[in-house]
């Protein structure tokens, strides 16, 4: 049996190599491309470590709200696009206006989703003193 590194270790190694190989003597085009690659690797790493499970849990919760009659806990991961499209239509129709059933629950879920996305795509945002 071979011992293989996990994907997170591979991403960290790739990121470190890119950072070490880049130097100020490179042209601005190479510098830009290198930084973009390093950024993409960082995002992929955070997607894996921050919480796929959390994202799936939040998606299932939105599915329960937007399709209450169709929800089945044994369903494979529902389409996030389908769920958010229905949620947007419901919001436009006032289904989750303040005081409506599930309005607090939807607000809480959407806040958690945005918080998770900030952790993945803009973690420095939370670190900044405001």
What is the arithmetic mean of pLDDT over 94-117?
92
Domain borders along the chain are: 7-50, 52-124
Here the tokens at position 73 are 């806990």
- Taking 60 as the threshold, does the pLDDT of residue 2 lie above it? no
What backbone torsions phi and psi does residue 37 show, to the nearest 5 degrees? -65, -45
Q: Round to whole Å and give the CA distance between 19 and 15.
A: 6
Q: Which residues contact 100 (CB under 8 A, 6 or more apart)?
A: 94
The 10s digit of each residue's pLDDT in 12-33 is 778 777 777 766 666 677 777 7
Size of the chain, expressed as the number of residues it contains: 130
The 10s digit of each residue's pLDDT in 34-86 is 777 878 888 888 877 776 667 778 888 888 888 887 766 565 556 778 888 88
- Taking 80 as the threshold, does the pLDDT of residue 129 lie above it? no
């Amino acid at each position: 049996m071979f011992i293989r590194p996990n994907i997170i270790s591979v991403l960290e190694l790739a990121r470190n190599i890119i950072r070490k190989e880049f130097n100020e003597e490179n042209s601005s085009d190479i510098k830009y491309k290198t930084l973009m690659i390093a950024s993409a690797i960082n995002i992929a790493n955070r997607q894996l470590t921050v919480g796929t499970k959390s994202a799936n849990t939040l998606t299932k919760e939105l599915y329960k709200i937007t399709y209450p009659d169709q929800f089945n806990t044994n369903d494979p991961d529902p389409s996030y696009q389908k769920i958010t499209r229905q949620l947007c239509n419901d919001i436009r129709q006032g289904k989750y206006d303040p005081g409506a059933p599930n309005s607090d629950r939807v607000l809480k879920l959407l806040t958690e989703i945005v918080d998770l996305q900030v952790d993945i795509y803009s973690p420095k945002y939370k670190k900044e003193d405001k």
